[in-house]
């Protein structure tokens, strides 16, 4: 009886362990294995062990790798910072008491429920020079009828940023609002009695309380934006001229479209290492979970 009882916890966690091995450990191991191989289905005669050859090409002979990595970093920084600022502002607004607050919260959070592909469809229609918002602006004398922000290298980044902001801001608003509602009202009342202004209450009460929520949400959103595929792929396809090609889009182009699975796996491994290093460094530098 005692032996059976001691085995019970292992039996109960066995399904979860098997699922992790099947859906996490095995795929990661396969990617690492193929990153050390020449594995191109269009050139099977060259397939075989490559060692670190794919990584040598990646680091020293492939300018598109560095271009896509640089754009990924730029995309993540701009998106996360703007989404955090707008999300925090919205959370502070809908946390106040006013008539129609429930409807306002629903409107603020609704874009988060829209899929990336559907979001892209909405913004493609808005950016369309024939039927979109720029057509109506041209009708009133603002801009021209040939304005196509997704086809112009000087405007495509800003256009993609705005589209992703519309979908990403509610994520921060939801998380930060949930944390704002746990702040004790007595703290604000005591600060008001002591003569603290709204700005001082925000700096000395609200922000310290939101510290961990901000750190965690920015980290999660940074990883998600780094791996962003659906919106950019359907909105710009990585163009024009690779101007909006992130590293995951480059992986898709190499592995899925060009069928070079060995080099695509090496790119994926490089992306995994970049994200792992960033996550560890960010958590350590931000002192996540530490109390002052």
Whether 10 is in a domain gets the answer no
Q: Is residue 247 part of a domain?
A: yes
pLDDT digits (tens, 9 = 90+) for 197-247: 888 888 888 898 899 999 999 999 999 999 988 889 888 888 888 889 999
145 contacts: CB under 8 Å, gap ≥ 6: 129, 135, 138
**The tokens 């399904």 sit on which residue?**
15
- Which among 197, 169, 155, 173 is positioned nearest to 105, based on CA atoms? 173
Provide the residue count of the chain: 292
pLDDT at 1 over 80: no
Residue 57: predicted pLDDT: 93
Q: Kindly write down the DSSP assignment for every residue of 30-62, as one continuous string.
A: HHHHHHTEE-BTT-GGG-EE-TTHHHHHHHHT-
Residue 45 has pLDDT above 90, yes or no: no
In a domain, 166, yes or no: yes
Residue 145 maps to which CATH number? 1.10.3720.10
Domain assignment present for 22: no
Q: Which two tokens stand for residue 194?
A: 């002591």
Taking only the tens place, the pLDDT of each residue in 131-180 is: 888 888 777 777 777 778 888 888 899 999 999 999 999 999 999 999 99
Using DSSP's 3-state secondary structure scheme, residue 260 falls into strand
Q: Is residue 48 part of a domain?
A: no
Query: What pLDDT does residue 177 have?
Result: 92
pLDDT at 291: 62
**pLDDT for 292 beyond 60:** no
Q: Is residue 25 assigned to a domain?
A: no
**Structural domain harbouring 240:** 62-286
**In-domain check, residue 192:** yes
Residue 248 falls inside a structural domain: yes
As for how many domains the chain has, the answer is 1
The two three-digit tokens of residue 149, written as one number: 């922000």
Give 49's strand partners.
37
**pLDDT of 5 above 70:** no
DSSP states along 101-135: HHHHHHHHHGGGGS-HHHHHHHHHHHH-TTTSHHH
């Amino acid at each position: 009886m005692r032996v059976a009882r001691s085995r019970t916890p292992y039996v109960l966690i066995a399904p979860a362990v098997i699922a992790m091995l099947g859906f996490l450990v095995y795929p990661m191991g396969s990617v690492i294995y193929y990153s050390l191989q020449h594995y191109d289905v269009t050139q099977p005669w060259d397939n075989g062990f490559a060692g670190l050859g794919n990584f040598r090409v990646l680091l020293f002979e492939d300018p598109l790798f560095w271009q896509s990595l640089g754009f990924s970093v730029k995309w993540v920084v701009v998106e996360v910072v703007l989404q955090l600022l707008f999300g925090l502002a919205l959370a502070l607004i809908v946390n106040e008491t006013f008539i129609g607050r429930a409807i306002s919260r629903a409107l603020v959070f609704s874009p988060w429920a829209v899929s990336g592909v559907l979001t892209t469809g909405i913004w493609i229609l808005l950016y369309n020079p024939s039927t979109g918002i720029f057509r109506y602006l041209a009708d009133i004398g603002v801009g021209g009828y040939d304005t196509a922000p997704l086809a112009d290298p000087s405007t495509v980044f800003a256009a993609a940023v705005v589209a992703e902001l519309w979908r990403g801001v509610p994520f921060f608003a939801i998380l930060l609002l949930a944390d704002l509602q746990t702040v004790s009202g007595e703290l604000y009342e005591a600060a008001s009695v002591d003569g603290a202004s709204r700005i001082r209450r925000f700096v000395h009460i609200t922000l310290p309380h939101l510290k961990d929520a901000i750190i965690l949400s920015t980290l999660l959103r940074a990883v998600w934006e780094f791996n962003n595929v659906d919106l950019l792929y359907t909105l710009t396809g990585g163009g024009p001229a690779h101007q909006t090609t992130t590293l995951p889009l480059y992986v898709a182009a190499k592995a899925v479209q060009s069928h070079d699975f060995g080099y695509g796996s090496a790119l994926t491994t490089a992306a995994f290492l970049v994200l792992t290093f960033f996550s560890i460094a960010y958590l350590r530098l931000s002192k996540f979970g530490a109390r002052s």
